[in-house]
Copies of this chain bind each other. A is one copy, B any other.
């Protein structure tokens, strides 16, 4: 046994574990919030709302598309009343499986029920870390967070992690696309801030990836997120985004943000029924625009703190809302996105508790895409570099449990059990020695030092270790993606378009 332990020390127990965190299958049995009958009633309720009470559609083009399909549209109130036949046809034509091309084939993703795709936190106006503190997001933050997202295989899509507030709005879409394309080879995100920006983004992306028009139209290469304005409003940039992405065959992820007790009813079933109605309306707009256009069902439903009205996350109500939304997604048969998140103001125990509780709601709900799965603080007002790292630890542990890795550890070891006598141990057993570098998940940031060692080292907090990790990644030589030619052409094109004034966002 002595020999074995020495040999193990010599090898410094470096983990040689190789697990593929791409293309995860959700291994968790699906949990229900409500009975199937209740879910059917919620769907029926949503249909009733859309046909009887309607949804406000601010974009004339969208109103025309609905009207052309037979919906009643009241131009004075801007309310569209969508019959259930229109919606049923849209649900039928929406694809059940969406293969999205990344910059590299092994990072392609397929959105369908049963698959599991993680995104870090999205949409934060602020960035925060333990070195520079909390500040409005900058281009540097955007680049850094894109690189960090790209670094970890367990994050599968690039969301708009932070708003680069130091980049003027008329050229911000150039900057964010350039950052995603040159610092990452994962599926990029394009904001729906009006047709001019969206079209330019499509053109630059197509050019950078070297795609013909037919190739770009044949498969999605990017995605957008559409938040309806709850309750029951489709605003101009969101409706335009749905139309633009559907026409181009690119992915819309439809996500009503329905906070129970604020923009939605206080009950889980009420909030999800409203969210479902809004999602159905948005999905219908994509399918009326281009039947078969790639669209992902979704919800982001949590509750508010009734003392302050502030949104909260990782609560039992949030968990249950995810379950209910998952039931409705399966009712439709569509891939869908949910969200984790935290209301904490710093990456502390609360932040960890809430984010993981929210995550398990998504996992048990059978989510296809889990957004805000890492780094999201303050209900989305900031993204934390340290929290990004500590949440990735949890996501990697979840990925280890995913289908495809389930044969791990299945060896019964009966010979080893027979070999090691009472009072003995398995440290030096051949069975152990053959596996010690590969059998266990190797932690990213979690610290296994004992108390004495930990004290000698100055009692490092999880966050301090996380700081070291993101700094190490960002100070390593920067990897860039795309050929020199493609990057050069992109930079030239952006310079030209910038000189021409860029494109103002539509609101």
Contact = CB atoms under 8 A, between A and B. Distances in A.
Interface of A: 8, 12-13, 15, 27-31, 33-34, 38, 41-42, 45, 48-49, 52-53, 55-56, 79, 134, 229, 231-233, 260-271, 273-274, 277, 303, 305-310, 312, 314-317, 319-320, 343-354, 356-357, 360, 364, 378, 381-382, 390, 393-394, 397, 400-401, 406, 408-414, 416-418, 420-427, 429, 431-432, 435-437, 439-441, 443, 445-451, 454-455, 459, 461-463, 466
B409 A269 contact: yes
Contacts of A13: 306-307
A348 B387 CA distance: 12
Tallying the copies of this chain within the complex gives 2
Nearest to A356: B356
A265 B431 contact: yes
Given A261-B439, A353-B446, A27 B38 contact: no
Given A45-B412, A320-B409, 16 more contacts: A45-B417, A231-B421, A261-B426, A261-B440, A265-B431, A267-B413, A269-B411, A270-B413, A315-B397, A316-B441, A345-B449, A346-B461, A349-B351, A350-B390, A352-B353, A352-B356
Contact of A426 (B28, B265, B317, B393): B265
A417 B270 contact: yes
A417 B265 contact: yes
Given A356-B353, A449-B345, A270 B422 contact: no
A392 to B, nearest CB: 11
Contacts of A455: 345
Contacts of A343: 446, 448
A281 to B, nearest CB: 12
A270 B416 contact: yes
